[in-house]
Chain A
Amino acid sequence: MTPSPGLGLPRPSRRGLLTGGLALGASLALPGCAYLRDDAPADAPLPPSAKAQVDGDLVYFNWADYLAPAVVKGFSEEYGVEVIESNYDSMEGMYAKLAAGNQYDIVFPIAKWVVKLKREGKLRSIDPAQLTNADQVFYSGSYFNHPWYDDGSEVSVPFTVYKTGIGWRTDKVSSMTGSWRDLWNDEARGRVFTLDDQDEALAMAALILGYDVNTADPGELADIKDLLISQKEYLRAYSSDDINNMLGGDAWVHHMWSGDFLYLQRGLADDPAMFAFEAPSEGTPINSDAYAIPANARHPGTAMVFIDYLLRPENAVRNMKYLFYPFPVKDALPAFAELTQDAPACQVDVADLENENVYRLLDTEEVQRRAAVWTEVKAS
C-alpha cells in the first residue's frame, strides 16, 4: 500500500511551505527604513492589559492556515465582528512588520520571539483574570504559569507545544534504535531528510554530542559541523516539507516535527501503521507557540475575547483535529491523547517541557556563528 500521493496536495506544514523568499521582498523591502535603526528600546514597561470586551473587528496575523477556519468563522458569527486576516511566512517577516509599526490585534509568536518582543516592549500585558477560560492553561501546577520564555505569562497565553523527533516508514526500515543516530540509518541511505532549519539541524547534532542545543561555542560548533557533514552521504536533502517528503515516498527516515507527523499519520495516510515516530533518547527539542497582543493593537479587547474563545476546550479540540499540534488546554488533553494513540512519542508532557532543550534568544554574534556553520554544512 502506498500513501496517496497524486495531485491532492495536502496542506503543507506551515514551516515547510516555502514562501519566505517570495514574500520576503514585499514584507521586508518597504518597512526597510523603519527597520534600520540604531537602538531598540529594551525592558520598556509593559502596556496594561485590555479588558475582554469587543472593541472592534479583529485584525488577525498568523501563519497561513494555522487555525481551523471553522473556529475562526465561529468567532466572527458569535461576536458579530469581522476577522481581517493577514499571514506571515516566517517569524522574521512577522517581526519586521511589527517593527515597522503595522497594527495587528493578535499575533502567534514562537517562544523565543515572545522573549524578543516582550523585551522590546512590543507586547501588551494579558491579565488572566480577564479570561473566563484562563484556568484551562494556567491551572495550579501548570508549566505555563512560569514558562521559560515569559515568566509569569505576563504577555502570552500558550497556543501549541510540540517536539522534534524522527518519523520513519515502518514498511521500509526495521532497524531504528531510538537515537538521533537513526538519521545515519544504513537501510535508509540516500532517503534520509534533515530539516532545513538552522536551529533544528544544529540541535540534533548537539544532542548526539551531548552539547546544549543553543551552543555557540566555536569548538563545539566545529564538532557539530563535522558530524553533520558526515551525515551527507546518507541524506537525500535538507527540507522542511516533511509531510510531503514522507507522503511522496521520497523519505524513509525524516527529521520532523511531531505535529506534522500526526497530520501525516492521522490526517493523510491511507495506512497509519506505515508511519512511526520516535523521540530520540538523547533528548528532544521542545518548542511552543503563543497568543500575544501587540502593544499598538487597535482592538486589544476583541483580541482578549478571541483568546478566551480559543481557550474553550471544545474549540481547542476542533483546532487540534485540524492542526494536529497539541494545545496545552486541560480539558482538551484527553482528545489529544486519542490523536496520539498510535504515536505516543508525539505526546508532550510536563517532563518534556521542563527539560532545557528549548531554542533561546541568542545574541547576534552567536546566531551568526551558528549560521556560518550551517552554511558550510549545506554548501559542502
Chain B
Amino acid sequence: MATTAPRSAQRTWLWGALLALPTAWMVAFFVSSMVIVVLLSFGRTTNDGFPVFATSTASYEALWNEVYLELFLRSLAYALATVAISVLIAYPVAYAIALHGGRYKNALIAAVVVPFFASYLIRMYAWKALLSDDGLVNSGLGRAGIGAVTFLNTPYAVVGGLVYGFVVFMILPVYASLERLDVSLVEAGKDLYHGPVRTFVHVTLPATRAGLYGGILLVFLPALGDFVSAQLLGGASTYMMGNLVQQQFMEGQNWPLGSALTVGMMLALTVLMVVYLRATSTRAREA
C-alpha cells in the first residue's frame, strides 16, 4: 500500500532534488578546481616542465618578495579607482533609468547590457584601435583643434579599461535597488528635508545602500584579478597581479608558484572581504 508523505516532506524532497544538480555542478567544477589549485601550490615542477603534486612549501616561501607586494598594492589601487569611478558613472545612469526611464526603462537597461555580450577581449581591442595615437579619437581631437592626447599605455588607460569592463556590474544592482525604492519615501523626504540634495543623502542613498555595496564587490573582485586591460592598454609599468599569475602558468612554467600566488591573493581578499562585510552590515543595520 502506498503511503503518501505529508505535503511538507514532499516539498523538502523536491527542493532537495532541485538543489542537487547545481550543488553537484559546483562541487565538480568550482570546488574541485579550487582544491587542485590549493594542492598544486604545494607542488613542484618536474625537469621537463610537468607540474606535479608534492608537499613543498617552496612556492609559499617565494611569495615573500617585495616585488609581489608592490604588484598587489598597485592592483589594489587600480581596483579601488575602478570601483570609485564605476560608482560615479553607475549611480546617475541607474538613477536616470529607474526613476526617469518611464516606459523605456527595459529598453535602456538592455542598451546598457547588450554591449557586454561581446567578448571583453574584443572590446579591449576596439578601445586600443580607438585610442591609439593616430586613432579615431585623436584624429577627432586634432580636427577640433585640441592637440593629440596619449591615452594608451598609461595607468589611466588600464583603469579606464577596467571601468568599461565591469561598470555594468555596478549599474545592475544599483538599478535594482532604485527600482524597489518607494517613491512616496522620496516625496516625504522632500517635505521633511527640503531640497533634493538633502533628500538624496538622507533618503535615497540609504535606501539603495545594499545595491551599492553589492555592486562594489562585483566590480572590485574581477578588477583586482584582471590581466587583459593591463596587457592590452597598459604601459611599461602597469603590470598587475593577474598578469603575474598568468605569466607563471604560461611562459614561466611555474604552476606551483602561480597557484601559491592565487591562494595568497584569495586569503588576502578574504580578509579584506570580512572587514568590508562587517563594516557594511553594521552600517546597513544603522540605516
Footprint of B on A, CB under 8 Å? Answer: 2-3, 5-7, 9, 12, 18-22, 24, 28-29, 32-33, 35-40, 42, 90, 92, 116, 119-120, 196-199, 232, 235-239, 241, 244-245, 247-250, 363-365, 367-368, 371-372, 374-376, 378-380
Contacts and interface: CB of A to CB of B under 8 A. Distances in A.
Interface in B65-89: 67-68, 70-71
Contacts of A365: 47
A28 to B, nearest CB: 7
Interface string B106-130: 0000000000000111000110111
A37 B52 contact: yes
Contact of B50 (A3, A35, A239): A35
B246 to A, nearest CB: 5
B49 interface: yes
B132 A364 contact: no
A29 to B, nearest CB: 6
A32 to B, nearest CB: 6
B231 interface: yes
Given A6-B136, A244-B128, A249-B132, A36 B51 contact: yes
A364 B153 contact: no
A11 to B, nearest CB: 12
A20 B252 contact: no
Given A244-B129, A248-B135, A236 B153 contact: yes
Contact of B129 (A2, A5, A120): A5
A28 B248 CA distance: 13
Given A364-B49, A374-B251, A29 B132 contact: no
A29 B254 CA distance: 15
Contacts of A199: 251
Interface string B237-270: 1010011101111111110010000000000000
Contacts of A372: 252
B46 A40 contact: yes
B48 A116 contact: yes
B152 interface: yes
Interface residues of B, number: 55
Nearest to A95: B49
Given A6-B129, A198-B252, A363-B47, A20 B33 contact: no
B236 interface: yes
B201 interface: no
B236 A232 contact: yes
Contacts of A363: 47-48
17 contacts: A5-B136, A6-B129, A9-B126, A21-B242, A28-B249, A36-B51, A232-B237, A236-B235, A236-B236, A248-B128, A363-B47, A364-B46, A368-B45, A368-B252, A378-B243, A379-B67, A380-B67
B50 A368 contact: no
Most buried by B among A7, A21, A374: A21
B232 interface: yes
Nearest to B237: A232
B250 A237 contact: no
Most buried by A among B46, B134, B239: B134
Nearest to B226: A21
